[in-house]
């Protein structure tokens, strides 16, 4: 940490990493070894656990913000972080759309640290499958893609948890069961899918 007292500027200096996770998986023809997938996700979840235990959530977990050096992975780009206990509503347009949790899409800024866990799950899928799980073109398309795979939430849950905090969203989604993730990664060990 570098602090320039006269200007009040603060700079964070980090070690040089080779590349980000997106660069590692884009254009790959072969899946990553499951041991590497588990190791990466273990480290990502440890980083998020550390942040959350210290009262911070990242709000922009995505492959481009996971830096690699050899077999080490680190969570980077802390520019969107917020305090877990800071007052809601938060910024509505946060996080990269493909990794944005449903509560970020469905409400007017009423979400919490669990959005990081949803994003980590999307990153896990992308490491395993080598393509993004929910590549929505816009917010409505994003919600549809989530519903197609995970199914629609119970209407009672939507109305109870989200409707009061969403002035811009209609919650009359057609009911879908969801296809599940397993069929999208048939090559993956069931233990990895369960993760």
Catalogue the active-site residues: 60
Note if the bond before 89 is cis, omega within 30 degrees. Answer: yes
The 10 Å Cβ neighbour count of residue 130 is 17
Q: What is the 3-state secondary structure (H, E, C) of 5-22?
A: CCCCEEECCCCCCCEEHH
For residues 146 and 133, give the distance between their C-alpha atoms in angstroms, rounded to a whole number. 8
Residue bearing tokens 């197609």: 148
DSSP 141: H
Tell me how far the alpha carbon of residue 35 is from its chain's centroid: 21
Residue bearing tokens 């490491």: 127
Largest CA-CA distance found in the chain, in angstroms, rounded: 59
For residues 34 and 37, give the distance between their C-alpha atoms in angstroms, rounded to a whole number. 5
């Amino acid at each position: 940490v570098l602090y320039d007292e006269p200007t009040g500027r603060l700079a964070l200096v980090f070690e040089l990493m080779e590349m980000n996770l997106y660069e590692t998986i884009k254009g790959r023809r072969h899946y990553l070894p499951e041991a590497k997938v588990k190791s990466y996700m273990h480290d990502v979840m440890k980083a998020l656990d550390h942040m959350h235990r210290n009262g911070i959530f990242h709000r922009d977990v995505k492959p481009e913000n996971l830096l690699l050096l050899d077999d080490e992975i680190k969570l980077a780009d802390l520019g969107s972080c917020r305090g877990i206990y800071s007052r809601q509503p938060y910024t509505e347009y946060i996080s990269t759309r493909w990794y944005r949790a449903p509560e970020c899409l469905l409400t007017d800024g009423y979400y919490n640290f669990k959005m990081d866990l949803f994003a980590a799950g999307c990153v896990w899928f992308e490491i395993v499958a080598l393509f993004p799980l929910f590549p929505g073109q816009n917010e409505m398309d994003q919600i549809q893609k989530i519903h197609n795979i995970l199914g629609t939430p119970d209407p009672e849950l939507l109305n109870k948890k989200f409707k009061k905090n969403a002035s811009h969203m209609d919650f009359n989604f057609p009911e879908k069961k969801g296809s599940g993730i397993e069929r999208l990664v048939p090559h993956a060990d069931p233990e990895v899918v369960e993760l």
